[in-house]
C-alpha cells in the first residue's frame, strides 16, 4: 500500500505590504488584516486553497512574484500598462485615485503647486509616478519612503511639504489620527486607478480561478460587504 497522499492541499502564497490601512495592516495582535487580506482568503475558500500571507516591501512585490517566493500580490496594486510588462493582473476589484496630503493652513491648491517642494512618496507606487511626471524622476525634492505611514509621519513633524498617496488610505489615516493637523487636497487631474491582484506572467490557471472567484464574490455581495466593513462604502 502506498502512503503517498493522492492529493496535496493547495496553497496560495500571497504577498502584501502591510502598512496600508484599510487594505492591509497589522492589528494589535500582530495579525495582518484588511480588505485585501479578507478578499484573498474568500478567494482561497472559493478555489479550495489555503492562503498564506507574506509581508514584503511594496517595491519588492513584483520581484517576489517573479522569483516564485509568492504566487499572487494582494496589495492595493493599481493595474498599469508598465506593470503589465512584467506581471498579469486579475480583473479590477476596487477603484481609487491619488490624493495630496498637506499640513493644515498650507496654501497649495493643486498638484502643480508642489513643483520644487519637498514631496513624500512611497517607493514603487503610482503616487511616485505622478510626482515624477510633475518634477522629473531625479528631482531631490522627491522624498522616498518605504511606506505611506513613514511619509505621513514625516509630514507631521514638518519634514515635508506634502505627500501624494492613494486617497482611501489617506482618508483612513486622517480619520484614525484626528490630532494629525493634516488635510486632504483633491486634484481633478488625478486619473481613476483600478486595483487588481497580480500573478506571474503566464500563470493563467491561478489568474482564471481568481477571476471566477471574484465573479462569484461580486454576485453574492461579498465584495460589497467587505467594502462596507473596511471603507464604510
Ligand atoms: N495603488 C498604488 C500603486 O499601485 C499604491 C499601492 C500601495 O502602496 N500598496 O502603486
List C-alpha distances in Å: 201 to 89, 143, 163, 213: 9, 31, 32, 19
**Which residue from 126, 149, 150 has its CB within 8 A of the most atoms of ligand 1, so it is best to mutate?**
126
- pLDDT for residue 229: 97
- pLDDT for residue 97: 97
Provide the β-strand partners of residue 145: 122
- pLDDT for residue 4: 55
What is the ipTM metric for this complex? 0.98
- Ligand 1, atom 7, lies closest to the CA of 76
- Report d(CA 178, CA 216) in Å as an integer: 38
- Report d(CA 227, CA 39) in Å as an integer: 10
- Ligand 1, atom 5, lies closest to the CA of 125
List C-alpha distances in Å: 57 to 50, 61, 83, 138: 23, 7, 16, 22
What percentage of the chain reaches a pLDDT higher than 70?
A: 97
Residue the block writes with cell 481609487? 96
**Which residue from 75, 132, 146, 166 has its CB within 8 A of the most atoms of ligand 1, so it is best to mutate?**
166
Rounded average pLDDT over 15-29 = 98
pLDDT one-digit tens code per residue, 65-115: 999 999 999 999 999 999 999 999 999 999 999 999 999 999 999 999 999
| 6 CA → ligand 1 middle, Å | 40
Q: What are phi and psi of 141, to 5 degrees?
A: -70, -15
Measured between alpha carbons, how far apart are the two ends of the chain, in Å?
56
Residue 22 is classified by DSSP as: T
- pLDDT for residue 158: 87
- pLDDT for residue 7: 57
Cell output for 172? 483612513
Rounded average pLDDT over 132-143 = 97
| Other residues' Cβ atoms within 10 Å of the Cβ of residue 83 | 19
Beta-carbon contacts of residue 203 (< 8 Å; ≥ 6 apart): 71, 88
| 44 CA → ligand 1 middle, Å | 22
| 209 CA → ligand 1 middle, Å | 23
DSSP 43-69: HHHHHTEEEEEEE--GGGHHHHHHTTS
Amino acid at each position: 500500500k502506498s502512503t503517498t497522499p493522492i492529493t496535496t492541499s493547495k496553497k496560495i502564497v500571497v504577498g502584501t505590504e502591510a502598512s496600508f490601512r484599510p487594505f492591509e495592516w497589522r492589528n494589535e495582535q500582530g495579525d495582518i488584516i484588511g480588505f485585501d487580506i479578507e478578499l484573498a482568503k474568500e478567494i482561497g475558500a472559493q478555489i479550495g486553497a489555503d492562503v498564506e500571507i507574506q509581508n514584503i516591501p511594496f517595491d519588492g512585490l513584483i520581484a517576489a512574484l517573479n522569483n516564485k517566493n509568492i504566487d499572487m500580490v494582494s496589495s492595493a496594486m493599481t493595474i498599469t500598462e508598465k506593470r503589465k510588462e512584467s506581471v498579469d493582473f486579475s480583473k479590477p476589484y476596487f477603484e481609487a485615485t491619488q490624493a495630496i496630503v498637506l499640513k493644515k493652513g498650507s496654501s497649495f491648491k493643486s498638484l502643480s503647486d508642489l513643483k520644487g517642494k519637498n514631496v513624500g512618496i512611497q517607493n514603487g507606487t503610482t503616487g511616485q509616478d505622478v510626482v515624477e511626471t510633475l518634477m522629473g524622476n531625479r528631482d531631490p525634492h522627491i522624498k522616498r519612503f518605504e511606506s505611506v505611514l513613514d511619509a505621513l509621519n514625516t509630514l507631521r513633524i514638518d519634514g515635508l511639504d506634502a505627500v501624494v498617496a492613494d486617497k482611501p488610505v489617506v482618508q483612513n489615516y486622517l480619520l484614525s489620527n484626528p490630532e494629525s493637523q493634516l488635510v486632504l487636497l483633491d486634484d481633478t487631474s488625478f486619473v481613476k486607478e483600478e486595483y487588481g491582484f497580480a500573478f506571474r506572467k503566464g500563470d493563467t490557471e491561478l489568474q482564471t480561478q481568481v477571476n471566477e472567484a471574484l465573479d462569484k464574490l461580486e454576485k453574492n455581495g461579498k465584495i460589497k460587504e467587505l467594502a462596507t466593513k473596511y471603507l464604510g462604502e
